[in-house]
Chain A
Amino acid sequence: MSYEELLTKTALADERFVVMTAENRALVRNLPGILGKRFIDTGITEQTMVGAAAGLALRGRIPVLHALASFLTMRAFEFVRTDAGIPNLPIKLSSFIPGFLSDGNGPTHQAIEDVSIMRGIPNVTVFAAADEQDLVGMLPAIWASPNPAYVRINTRKTEYNHTPFEIGKAEVIAEGTDVTILTYGLLFEQALIAMQILKDQGLSVGLVNMRSLKPVDEQAILKVAKASKLVVTLEDHFNTGGLYTIVAETLLKHQTMAKVMPYGLDKWFKPALLPEVLAYEGFTGKQIAEKILGYTTNAIQPEIATPEFAE
């Protein structure tokens, strides 16, 4: 099932759902004809869309909002914080092309602080999907929750078959004693590749899909910290405020020591098509594995699919 099919099904079954967009229709092309007045395009007005969503939520609606990740989180930040966060309204933010998915757009479109700023707002929950199946599996619970939610949309297809989603729970893909990679979103694909290369080098490797970033699965982090000699926080996000910070906060809160390697960004990334971005910035599965190993291997990096659409 695709994102749009799930949203269509959900909105047709429940009159409370209203689909909004700040003229970002890539994910909802067919919905105007299907939902009629319950599809609201406010034009290129991210802050007004969020404010209007608060008004709709006051009247009992569940608005699902669409905009490019950087504008939804940053242009409209204070509206999300003040009009969704303070009153704790069920406003659902679907953020398009977050992280590396903005590939060739340039730094204006790079939402690589979105997790940091969204999770900084009380009441706002934060999620990231590893692929389309993960996304479609997590959204029903997120949309049914009473809280505002920020979701990093990822509609890429992988071969992985995910376990059922639960808010506040991580998905443990594998357990390992030498190294465990914690990741979320798009980089799940590359983490699977890195895990295989590391295993081929004889290491005991763990991998966890941190799809619920807030609330976060503290027990999963503590378990990994205890079981694994090295923990890697892999993310297409600044090292400030994202998963690396979440792990650090969790370890400190529970007075737990662990060796943690941050594998994120410290500045805006080089704009190009996605496969080249990953290679240039050192985020292909092979590069990730070799950086963890500290030496190069003969492993072959599988081809990385270019995103289907850009906006």
Chain B
Amino acid sequence: MNDLKDIAFKVRQHIIRMSTDGGCFVGASLSAADLIVYLYTKFLNINKDNLDDPNRDYLFLSKGHDVPALYGTFAEICLLEPERLKNHLSVNDHIYWHPNTKIPGIEFHSGSLGHLPSVALGVALDIKMRGGNNRVICIIGDGELNEGSCWEAVLVANAHKLDNLIFVIDRNQFQANMATEDLIPLEPLHDKFTAFGAAVKRIDGHSFEALDEAFSAYPFQQGKLNVVIADTVRGKGLPSIQARADRWFCNFTHDEVESLLKELGGEETTELTSETLVVR
């Protein structure tokens, strides 16, 4: 799993480099980085050569604002030229705050929360209809679970016994402005999904061993929607912003970025003066 740690480290570097000159949703990207790296490198049958293959797997990023983690991963698995990450927020490319299908490998655009659980559901339905074995993952934010459409999708997935569909919850404990439990409490989340008919695993979303153990058990139970609640830390890897409600969308100075890159490498924490922007 050391190779995964190396890749995830590089992905976090990409994310930090995108958090300036306009910024990005750095906290949410860092929480999802490990699970996205794991899924693309160890679990999913998706690569630059099979994107047109109807038998490949699918990954839908419903919490679209963490797309720097996805683009960072694409850069490391040859789906995107790393140089292009420098085009973040440029009109000359398609790399902005939410994913879009002009970037090969992006299954569907997102940004409006609560949409992709149903889109992923449709793909899973079609695969079942055709008797295929491909797997469909949808990464959903914990705050995103406020949206009723997420739970509609769980109801319908249960009705259609979609055991080829995996909802991965990035349980980083925060939504835009505050802790989930201080606004719209989600716990006991495991019980909620179980009550809706899903087969649920709750794991440490930063442990590749735990991720591997959970996903190796796919399908968790015949005829049931798979749900992985990945306990994560918002801003994981940067102690100066980790698990903080006020570090969501960040637009750091160039000096801060250089300092944060050192902090990621284990050096002392950064003195941050730039404020979190409120864009929602």
Q: Which residues of A contact B (CB under 8 A)?
A: 18, 37-38, 40, 42-43, 45, 47-61, 63, 78-79, 82-83, 86-87
Contacts and interface: CB of A to CB of B under 8 A. Distances in A.
B109 A87 contact: yes
Which residue of A48, A49, A53, A78 has the most chain B CB atoms within 10 A of its CB atom? A48
A52 B126 CA distance: 10
B129 A37 contact: yes
Contact of B123 (A58, A83, A86): A58
A38 B120 CA distance: 17
Given A18-B129, A51-B117, 5 more contacts: A43-B155, A55-B126, A59-B54, A79-B118, A87-B108
A82 B125 contact: no
Given A52-B125, A58-B123, A47 B118 contact: yes
16 contacts: A18-B126, A47-B152, A48-B153, A49-B118, A50-B118, A51-B116, A51-B118, A51-B149, A51-B153, A52-B122, A52-B125, A55-B122, A57-B122, A58-B108, A82-B109, A83-B119
Nearest to B60: A55
A79 B117 CA distance: 12
A92 to B, nearest CB: 14
Contacts of B115: 51, 79, 82-83
Interface of B: 54, 101, 107-109, 112, 115-129, 149, 152-153, 155-156, 159-160
A59 B124 CA distance: 10
A52 B119 contact: yes
Given A43-B159, A52-B156, A78-B112, A58 B122 contact: yes
A37 B132 CA distance: 14
A210 B112 CA distance: 35
A18 B125 CA distance: 11
Contacts, number: 89
A54 B126 CA distance: 11
Which DSSP category, helix, strand, loop or mixed, fits chain A's interface? helix
Contact of B152 (A48, A55, A56, A63): A48
Given A42-B156, A48-B156, A59 B117 contact: no
Which residue of A45, A50, A86 has the most chain B CB atoms within 10 A of its CB atom? A45
A48 B121 contact: yes
A40 B124 CA distance: 13
Contacts of A83: 108, 115, 118-119
B156 A45 contact: yes
B104 to A, nearest CB: 14
A55 B119 contact: yes
A83 B64 CA distance: 14
A11 to B, nearest CB: 13
A10 B150 CA distance: 32
A87 B126 contact: no
Contacts of B109: 82, 86-87
Contacts of B54: 59-60
B126 A59 contact: yes
A54 B125 CA distance: 11
Contacts of A43: 155-156, 159
B122 A56 contact: yes
B126 A48 contact: no
A34 B125 CA distance: 18
B117 A56 contact: no
Nearest to A47: B149
B146 to A, nearest CB: 15
B149 A87 contact: no
A44 to B, nearest CB: 9
Nearest to B124: A55
A56 B155 contact: no
Contacts of B155: 43, 45
Nearest to A82: B112
A12 to B, nearest CB: 15
Contacts of A60: 54
A55 to B, nearest CB: 2
A83 B155 CA distance: 20
Nearest to B121: A52
B74 to A, nearest CB: 19
